[in-house]
Amino acid sequence: MTILESLQQCKRTLGILVDPEKLDVEDFSAFAKAMSSTIPQLTKALELNQIIFLLGGSTMTDVNLDYWIDEFRKITELKLVLFPGSHRQVSEHADGLLFLNLISGRNPQYLIGEQVAAASRLRESALQIIPTGYILVDGGVESAVSRVSGTAPLSPQNEELILNTAVAGALMGNQCLYLEAGSGAKVSVSEHLVSRVADLIQIPLIVGGGLYTLKEIKHRFDAGAQMVVVGTAIERNLNWKG
């Protein structure tokens, strides 16, 4: 089964976002030890179908990504999916790639520029490439995505714009849609908004940003998200119980 097929068929996938710039290879042993107890807890508490690792960050200027992934793979059997902040964050050493296009913004560099820059490396790639429409929703703080891309997030009060953007992303042929409040968000994407978007699109819905408790994650699954992503919550407490 491909990564996309698993997202389509599984109702509850947890994505654990790991930034290689924040986790050194030297710290993998401690990370693996913490994950060995955390992952079973999360799986049971959230009734998960699967867990995958998302790998990426906004800059990652000082990381040998191929080497980092090879070493990381030694500590896990879970799928490793790239969540790239730029065309430079592509590696054949991963299993898959979310081919992101920032449809909430109007900066052509992140609508098509980065994608064209990555195309030469992806022409004959063995990666499982998943075109993904990326919608940044205001989470109450300036996110790294907003800062790096030079785009403003969509206001959660402008619900119709978010809904129309989501539908447009699906109609454009994206195979997944990602609603993101940004790393460290004070306000996450609401259950109400998740539910409305899920009702309108026929592709897997991914939700992330500002989710710090098991209850918050469960409610996003219940509202219609097929994949929920956590990053900061794991970073703050590797034995996270929510």
Q: Is residue 98 part of a domain?
A: yes
- Identify the CATH number of the domain in which residue 159 sits: 3.20.20.390
**27 has pLDDT over 90:** yes
* Mean per-residue pLDDT of the chain: 94
Q: Is pLDDT at 240 greater than 60 in this prediction?
A: no
The pLDDT of residue 74 is: 97
Determine the pLDDT at residue 235.
66
Q: Using pLDDT thresholds of 50, 70 and 90, give the confidence band for residue 125.
A: very high
Res 241 pLDDT > 60: no
User: What residues have CB less than 8 Å from 71, skipping those under 6 apart?
Assistant: 25, 28
Residue 242 clears pLDDT 60, i.e. is over it: no
pLDDT of 189-221, one tens digit each? 999 999 999 999 999 999 999 998 899 999 999
Q: Which two tokens stand for residue 51?
A: 């867990």
Q: Give me the pLDDT at residue 131, please.
A: 98
Task: Report yes or no on 36 lying in a domain.
Answer: yes
Sign (positive or negative) of CA dihedral 213, 25, 57, 84: negative
Strands 176-180, 50-55: parallel, antiparallel or unpaired by DSSP? unpaired
242: in domain: no
163 CB contacts (<8 Å, ≥6 apart)? 196, 197, 200
The span from the CA of 32 to the CA of 25, in Å, is 11
What are the beta bridge partners of residue 135? 179
Question: Can you give the pLDDT at residue 236?
Answer: 64
**CA-based angle 34:226:38, to the nearest 5?**
10
Domain count within the chain? 1
Q: Give the mean pLDDT of 121-144.
A: 97
pLDDT at 75: 96
The residue segments making up the domain with residue 144 are 3-236
**110: DSSP letter:** I
What is the pLDDT at residue 237? Answer: 60
Residue 142 is inside which H or E element, if any?
A: none
109, pLDDT greater than 70: yes
pLDDT tens-digit readout, 44-84: 999 999 999 999 987 787 899 999 999 999 999 999 999 99
Check residue 231 and give its pLDDT. 87
> What is the maximum span of the chain, computed from C-alpha positions, in angstroms?
46
> Does some domain include residue 241?
no
More confident residue, 233 or 166: 166
How far is the first Cα of the chain from the last one, in angstroms, to the nearest whole number?
A: 31
pLDDT in tens, 216-231: 999 999 999 999 999 8
Number of Cα atoms under 13 Å in the Cβ half of residue 117? 16
> Which of 59-63, 131-135, 138-142 is predicted least confidently?
59-63
Residue position matching structure tokens 């699109």? 201
pTM, 2 dp: 0.96
Percentage, residues of the chain above pLDDT 70 = 96
